[in-house]
A = this chain, B = another copy of it.
Amino acid sequence: MSESSVVLPVLGALELNLLWLVFGSAIVALLYGGFLAWKVLREPQGSNAMIEVSKAIQEGSAAYLSRQFKVMAVFILLLTAGLYFMYRPIYSNNPVLPIGIAIAFLLGSIASAGAGFVGMSLAVRANTRVANAALTSFKKSLEIAFQAGTISGMFTVGFGLLGAVIIFMIFRQDAMKVLVGFGFGGCLVALFMRIGGGIFTKAADVGADLVGKVEKNIPEDDPRNAAVIADNVGDNVGDCAGMAADVFESYEVTLVAAIILGAGVLLEPSFKAAYGVLASAMALKLIIYPLLVRAVGVFASIIGTMVVRGKDGEQVGDAMKPIKFGFWVAALTSIAGFGLVNYLYLKDWRFFFATLTGIILAIVIEWITDYYTHTEHRPVKETSFSTKTGPATTILTGFGLAQESSVWAILAIGVTIFVSMSIFAGDLALAAYGVALAGLGLLTTTGFILAEDTFGPISDNANGIFEMSGANKGAGAKAQEIITKLDAVGNTTKALTKGFAIATAVIAAIALFKSFIAEGGLANIGIQLNMPEVFIGLLIGGAVPFLFSSFLIGAVSRSATKVVEEVRRQFREIPGLMEGKNKPEYFKCVDIVTASAQKELVGPAILAVCTPIAVGFGLGAAALGGYLAGAILVGQLLAVLLANSGAIWDNAKKVIEMGAYGGKGSDSHKAAVIGDTVGDPFKDTAGPALNPLIKVMNLVAILIVPMIIINLAPEVRYTVVGIAVGLIGLAFWLSKREKMMEEK
Which residues of chain B have C-beta atoms less than 8 A from A550's C-beta? 400-401, 403-404, 407
Question: With A210-B389, A390-B214, A542-B633 in contact, is A526–B532 under 8 Å at CB?
Answer: no
Residue of B392, B417, B525 near A678 (CB, 8 A) is: B392
Shortest distance in angstroms between A399's beta carbon and chain B's nearest beta carbon? 7
A527 contacts B by Cβ under 8 Å: yes
Question: With A530-B517, A535-B417 in contact, is A674–B382 under 8 Å at CB?
Answer: no
CB-based contact B417/A532 at 8 Å = yes
A242 contacts B by Cβ under 8 Å: no
CB-based contact B547/A395 at 8 Å = no
A residues 488-530 with Cβ under 8 Å of B? 510, 513-514, 517, 522, 525-530
Shortest distance in angstroms between A346's beta carbon and chain B's nearest beta carbon? 22
* Bound Cα distance A633, B630 (Å): 8
A538 contacts B by Cβ under 8 Å: yes
Which residues of chain B have C-beta atoms less than 8 A from A527's C-beta? 528-530
Nearest chain B residue, comparing its CB with the CB of A416:
B536
CB-based contact B417/A536 at 8 Å = yes
A 715-744 to B, binary, CB cutoff 8 A, 1 in contact else 0: 000000000000000000000000111100
A188 contacts B by Cβ under 8 Å: no
Residue of B399, B546, B557 near A637 (CB, 8 A) is: B546
Which residues of chain B have C-beta atoms less than 8 A from A553's C-beta? 396-397, 399-400, 403
Which residues of chain B have C-beta atoms less than 8 A from A316's C-beta? none
Question: With A674-B390, A678-B396 in contact, is A532–B431 under 8 Å at CB?
Answer: yes
Shortest distance in angstroms between A263's beta carbon and chain B's nearest beta carbon? 18
A residues 419-433 with Cβ under 8 Å of B? 421, 431-432
Question: With A547-B403, A637-B546, A674-B391 in contact, is A526–B531 under 8 Å at CB?
Answer: yes
A677 contacts B by Cβ under 8 Å: yes
Which residues of chain B have C-beta atoms less than 8 A from A742's C-beta? 385
A608 contacts B by Cβ under 8 Å: no
Shortest distance in angstroms between A730's beta carbon and chain B's nearest beta carbon? 16
A281 contacts B by Cβ under 8 Å: no
Most-contacted residue by chain B among A529, A534, A626, A637 (CB, 10 A): A529
Shortest distance in angstroms between A54's beta carbon and chain B's nearest beta carbon? 30
CB-based contact B538/A633 at 8 Å = yes
Shortest distance in angstroms between A175's beta carbon and chain B's nearest beta carbon? 23
Chain A: how many interface residues by the 8 Å CB criterion?
81
Most-contacted residue by chain B among A382, A542, A681 (CB, 10 A): A542
CB-based contact B542/A530 at 8 Å = no
Question: With A382-B741, A522-B530, A542-B633 in contact, is A535–B557 under 8 Å at CB?
Answer: no
Question: With A397-B557, A550-B400 in contact, is A385–B538 under 8 Å at CB?
Answer: no
Which residues of chain B have C-beta atoms less than 8 A from A546's C-beta? 403-404, 406-407, 637, 641
A 367-397 to B, binary, CB cutoff 8 A, 1 in contact else 0: 0000000000000011001100111110111
Shortest distance in angstroms between A502's beta carbon and chain B's nearest beta carbon? 13
* Bound Cα distance A549, B421 (Å): 31
A167 contacts B by Cβ under 8 Å: no
* Bound Cα distance A396, B685 (Å): 12
* Bound Cα distance A619, B227 (Å): 54
Which residues of chain B have C-beta atoms less than 8 A from A514's C-beta? 530
* Bound Cα distance A414, B541 (Å): 11
Residues of A within 8 A of B (CB): 210, 214, 381-382, 385-386, 389-393, 395-397, 399-401, 403-404, 406-407, 410-411, 413-414, 417-418, 421, 431-432, 435, 510, 513-514, 517, 522, 525-536, 538-540, 542-543, 546-547, 549-550, 553-554, 556-557, 561, 564, 625-626, 629-630, 633-634, 636-637, 641, 674-675, 677-678, 681, 739-742
- In addition to A404-B546, A410-B539, 11 A-B residue pairs with Cβ atoms within 8 Å of each other are A210-B389, A389-B561, A392-B677, A407-B543, A407-B546, A410-B540, A414-B536, A417-B532, A418-B533, A513-B530, A517-B530
